[in-house]
Structure 1
Amino acid sequence: MQLTIWSALILYFCVFLAGLVDSAAGGGGLISLPAYLFTGLNTHTAIGCNKFSAACGTGFSAMRFFKNGALDWKIAFISAICSFISSFIGIKIAFKINPEVLKTVLIIILPVVAAALLLKKNFGVENRVEEISKAKAFRFAAYTGLAVGFYDGLMGPGTGTIAIIVFSACMKYDLKTASGNAKILNLASNYASLIVAVLNGSVIYRIAIPAAICGIMGNYLGAGLALKKGAAFIRPIMVIVICLLFAKLFYDLFARYFLGG
């Protein structure tokens, strides 16, 4: 498949923007995947190319968080291993169950989460992880990796955002460190999904490689802003991502009733 100049420009700009958003608050796939589909790629190829560019971009933003000490390496590593394993399981189960059940649950939960982020002004401002014992923190890391990785394999949209919320709400990390931890977790689940996509021949490299370069630039810029401004930059973007995710899930579930599909 050959992209026109305009469709290529739109795609690569959207992937850049997705990288910027994803590096700070997760949810970049809500921007980049529709852009891939807009070019006329079939669903499986769009997902494969999206995973390729996302994995490359997330890798660079993860390195930037790591170099700045903005992650808890042990916690991130444990969650990443569990995420890698459970993502494979999620991918396999995705072909066997009705995803509308999970979408319905998320539609109920997401408005509550968005309201909490808006109303609780000090959410993720301070790092209070020392209030949790190491044993409990390691268990939480494993559970988080298993749950979020499974979700990424099963559905995908908003994986990084969900991981950040869990790390901050349940393990008391500030949003900057929670975002750094989420990068490592998300990187693992991305590569698990990417392996499946590559083995299935669902990546068109002449499209995915330039997109990955744009995604890397967006991730690098977004990670820098997140590291510099912390929760003040991350939280509002998270609220926007949650609203976009809610809108997407609502559309997926109910569009056929309104549009007669």
Structure 2
Amino acid sequence: MLLFALPLAFLAGFVDAIAGGGGIITIPTLYFMGLSPAQVVATNKLLAIFGGATASVQFWRKGHVDRALILRIAPVALLGSTLGARLVLGFDDDELFRNIIAALILLVGVLVVTNRKLGLSGRYEGLTHRTFLIALPAMFAIGVYDGFFGPGTGTFLMFVFVRFLYFDFVTGSGNARVINFLTNLAAFLAFLLSGAMVWWIGLPMGIANALGAALGARMAILRGSTFVRVVYLGIVLLVVVRLLTAG
């Protein structure tokens, strides 16, 4: 099973470091390996912190993370993720919920496609009242979402940073990777004592995920915003298809 899962974990880390969406690869993989839904969610958080940490360090060291902003909004995202991991999903109709999320992510893709200059250059305004008015509630809401559901979290984070806070795609990706790592870490800690994590699967997949994330982050930094934008749009489509076809 691991021979099947490790290359997919590597691929998930690669795409997640560039544009988010790695969960659309790892979550079905874990289901295929026979894990229960609770084990899938918990084990996915375990492996995701490996790739998230690796990509975050790469972007941070290369200066593609706005440290001042991240340090101020990260606690709100952490709070949201911890709360989300402890909540019971409020929708009785899981299929309806997936369809709503898929529609929102598809809308994100449409907005990126129709604005060809979006994210190709940075126009970030700094630590203004407008920045915090947008960032704080957005980070909390996305944190809650990541804690109890997850797929598409990186997609939403990048969209907020690029569309509403005016970062270019590379720095937007770096910011998103750091926040996503922290929300995964918070959810991981919440699940830690649940007994649902399958460590013998999550740890080796986490290492493979980290290797893929290192390569993906390096590619994003070297190739620039145009490359990240193309990969991002591809991931948007994959996330939508995965959500709409999930059983």
Structure 1 length as normaliser, TM-score? Answer: 0.88
1:151-192 per-position Cα deviation (integer Å, ceiling 9, x unaligned): 112320010111001111000000111111111211111011
Question: Greater shift after overlay, 110-119 or 183-192?
Answer: 110-119
> Residue 60 of structure 2 aligns with which residue?
66
Tell me how far apart the structure 2 counterparts of residues 155 and 171 of structure 1 sit (CA, whole Å). Answer: 25
Partner SS state of residue 73, structure 2: helix
> Residue 259 of structure 1 aligns with which residue?
none
C-alpha deviation, 1:102, in angstroms: 4.1
> Residue 87 of structure 1 aligns with which residue?
81
- The 8 Å contact of residues 61 and 183 in structure 1, kept in 2 or not, is answered as yes
C-alpha deviation, 1:115, in angstroms: 2.1
- The 8 Å contact of residues 81 and 145 in structure 1, kept in 2 or not, is answered as no
Partner SS state of residue 142, structure 1: helix
Identity %: 29
> Residue 120 of structure 2 aligns with which residue?
125
Residues 80-159 of structure 1: pairs in structure 2 closer than 5 A = 80-98=74-92, 99-100=94-95, 102-130=97-125, 134-159=128-153
Q: Would the alpha carbon gap of residues 212 and 107 (structure 1) be closer, same or farther in structure 2, given more than 3 Å must change?
A: closer
1:207-237 per-position Cα deviation (integer Å, ceiling 9, x unaligned): 2111111011000000000111122221122
Question: Greater shift after overlay, 115-124 or 10-19?
Answer: 115-124
> Residue 226 of structure 2 aligns with which residue?
232
> Residue 53 of structure 1 aligns with which residue?
47
Tell me how far apart the structure 2 counterparts of residues 229 and 165 of structure 1 sit (CA, whole Å). Answer: 19
Question: Greater shift after overlay, 50-59 or 95-104?
Answer: 95-104
Aligned length: 246
Q: Would the alpha carbon gap of residues 80 and 102 (structure 1) be closer, same or farther in structure 2, given more than 3 Å must change?
A: farther
1:245 to 215, 239, 243: 239
Tell me how far apart the structure 2 counterparts of residues 227 and 152 of structure 1 sit (CA, whole Å). Answer: 25
Larger-Rg structure = 1
**1:71 aligned partner, one-letter code:** V
- The 8 Å contact of residues 43 and 197 in structure 2, kept in 1 or not, is answered as yes
C-alpha deviation, 1:241, in angstroms: 1.6
> Residue 222 of structure 1 aligns with which residue?
216
- The 8 Å contact of residues 69 and 127 in structure 2, kept in 1 or not, is answered as no
Tell me how far apart the structure 2 counterparts of residues 93 and 46 of structure 1 sit (CA, whole Å). Answer: 17
Tell me how far apart the structure 1 counterparts of residues 100 and 198 of structure 2 sit (CA, whole Å). Answer: 34
Partner SS state of residue 121, structure 1: coil
**1:94 aligned partner, one-letter code:** V
> Residue 154 of structure 2 aligns with which residue?
160
Gaps of 5+ in 1: 1-6, 256-261
**2:7 aligned partner, one-letter code:** F
Partner SS state of residue 94, structure 1: coil
- The 8 Å contact of residues 78 and 141 in structure 1, kept in 2 or not, is answered as no
Gaps of 5+ in 2: none
C-alpha deviation, 1:248, in angstroms: 2.4
- The 8 Å contact of residues 88 and 192 in structure 1, kept in 2 or not, is answered as yes
Tell me how far apart the structure 2 counterparts of residues 163 and 73 of structure 1 sit (CA, whole Å). Answer: 16
Residues 178-257 of structure 1: pairs in structure 2 closer than 5 A = 178-252=172-246
